[in-house]
Amino acid sequence: MELSEFSEHCFQMNALKKEHKRLKELAAEVWEDFLEMKSEALTVLEDNKLQNYDTGVGKISIKTKRSVSILDKVEFWDHLKSKNIFEDLVTISSATATKFYDAEFEEAKENKDVAFLRDGIPGLSEPKKFTDIAMRGFK
């Protein structure tokens, strides 16, 4: 690039930076609007005692989810090592920890493992339950 073109290049770079900022702000506003509408949709479903609803253009349904966080990595890692699965989960994320917890929880329920149901998994928080909605089939 010639130095004579460099000023125009910098001007265009700045314009792109400004446009990027504007779009990020717009995206945040749109997301806030979506979250508000999602909350209203959940309220309508719950008020009408519906688990799901076919809108004619897609289905919306209530999903109950769990989320855990790692409170003590060392304690949790020791637990994974004791189950011989540490290597499989060594780069564990919160989502992976939650999936692991869900699988362990289901196994504990099947086996009536009162200790697990009482104590949970070493190093993980107690799960936080939250209600969300799923939207399927919308175009």
Q: Are residues 72 and 126 in the same domain?
A: yes
Structural domain containing residue 116? 64-130
Q: Are residues 113 and 69 in the same domain?
A: yes
- pLDDT, residue 47, reads 96
Q: Are residues 39 and 68 in the same domain?
A: no
3-state secondary structure (DSSP) of residue 3: helix
Contacts of residue 101, Cβ cutoff 8 Å, sequence gap at least 6: 66, 68, 120, 121, 124, 127
How many angstroms separate the CA atoms of 97 and 2, rounded? 53
Q: Are residues 33 and 85 in the same domain?
A: no
Number of domains in the chain: 2
Q: Are residues 76 and 30 in the same domain?
A: no
Q: Are residues 97 and 41 in the same domain?
A: no
Q: Per-residue pLDDT tens for 50-85?
A: 999 999 989 999 998 888 888 888 888 888 889 888
Report whether pLDDT(92) > 80.
no
The percentage of residues in the chain with a pLDDT greater than 70, rounded to a whole number, is 98
Q: How many CB atoms lie within 10 A of CB 53?
A: 16
Q: Are residues 44 and 71 in the same domain?
A: no
How many angstroms separate the CA atoms of 64 and 44, rounded? 16
pTM over cut 0.75: no
